Structure 1
Amino acid sequence: MQPDDFRFSHALRVRWAEADMQGIVFNGHYLTFADVGITEYFRAMGQTYSGETGANGSDFFAVKTLLEYRSPARFDDMLDVHVRIARLGNSSMQFLIGIYRDEELLVNGEIVYVHADQSTRRPSPIPQVFREAVVSFERLMPEGVTA
């Protein structure tokens, strides 16, 4: 996985509270970094949680997270959180994540979200407006979007 495999990235600096006494980032914080990256991805795509993603009593819920640790980040490192949607199904989508320091891949992973009714948490189709925004942002061909 290379940085060029992603259309979007978001820079952030490791804060003191995210590192242990040796200055190494605690592993749980990488999921927060990924979440910040996904939030900024939505924003760059023009789809915020208060917009179409949460319309009509529905929302996206994380159902699977997988992170693979390759090398540690340290206090005060500048990181780039790379994000892309690798699969867009009827009611779910798979994000791929790459967290880099310069060109070095520190952590890679995937996060799967399901679009669902907020009260019942039962899956529902991803809104067409959101789907079109993803296809346009990622420059996916419609046939590249899986059902």
Structure 2
Amino acid sequence: MSDNLSGIINDNTHYFPKRVYYSDTDAGGVVYHSRYIDMAEHGRSELIRLLGGDQKSLLDESGLAFVVRSLNVSYNRPAFLDDMLSVRTRLSKCENFTLIFDQKIYRDNELLTELEVKIGCISLGDGKPKPMPREWKQVIEEKMMS
């Protein structure tokens, strides 16, 4: 398959395509508000995958996980059944324990939803914040904040 299912990175922005399916909508074909949060999560996960990060290995080998620390969402316009959307993700801050993402969901050039998502790195053993692996931080900064 030649299409990259993880999207693309261009000018420090990750572009992830997402079609709206029936399961994303209510009976009127309007996307549920919580689905935008799911779309943003998928965009961030695919961005990490494109950067070479393997979150399952991070969990299995070091007991570390990325978790949502806080989330701010603005819903501007609705999306509908069968719309083709673009989840656009930019990294605004990369610290030892925290990543802050600015995400926008578009239909063509129409801005539908804006999210600011703060992600923390924690130990699954005790649930406490832990620094992300140095090599992860380095790759993220080099590829997303240059």
Q: Place the TM-score, normalised by the shorter chain, in its bin.
A: 0.7 to 0.9
**Is the 8 Å Cα contact of residues 24 and 75 (structure 1) preserved in structure 2?**
yes
**Equivalents in 1 of 2:60, 2:90: separation in Å?**
20
When the two structures are superposed, what TM-score results if normalisation uses the length of structure 2?
A: 0.87
When the two structures are superposed, what TM-score results if normalisation uses the length of structure 1?
A: 0.86
Name the counterpart of 1:64.
70
Name the counterpart of 2:29.
23
Name the counterpart of 1:88.
94
**Is the 8 Å Cα contact of residues 12 and 145 (structure 2) preserved in structure 1?**
no
**Is the 8 Å Cα contact of residues 53 and 130 (structure 1) preserved in structure 2?**
no
Name the counterpart of 1:145.
none
Name the counterpart of 2:6.
none
SS at structure 1 position matched to 2:33: coil
Instruction: Say which of 111, 118, 133 aligns to 2:117.
Output: 111
List, as ranges, runs of 4+ consecutive aligned residues in structure 1 with deviation greater than 6 Å: none
| 5+ long unaligned stretches in structure 1 | 141-147
Distance 1:134-1:47 versus aligned 2 partners, 3 A rule: same
Distance 1:5-1:67 versus aligned 2 partners, 3 A rule: farther
Equivalenced residue count is 137
| 5+ long unaligned stretches in structure 2 | 1-9
Q: Equivalent pairs: percent with the same residue?
A: 26
Distance 1:109-1:74 versus aligned 2 partners, 3 A rule: same
Q: Read off the aligned partner of 1:25 and give its amino acid letter.
A: V
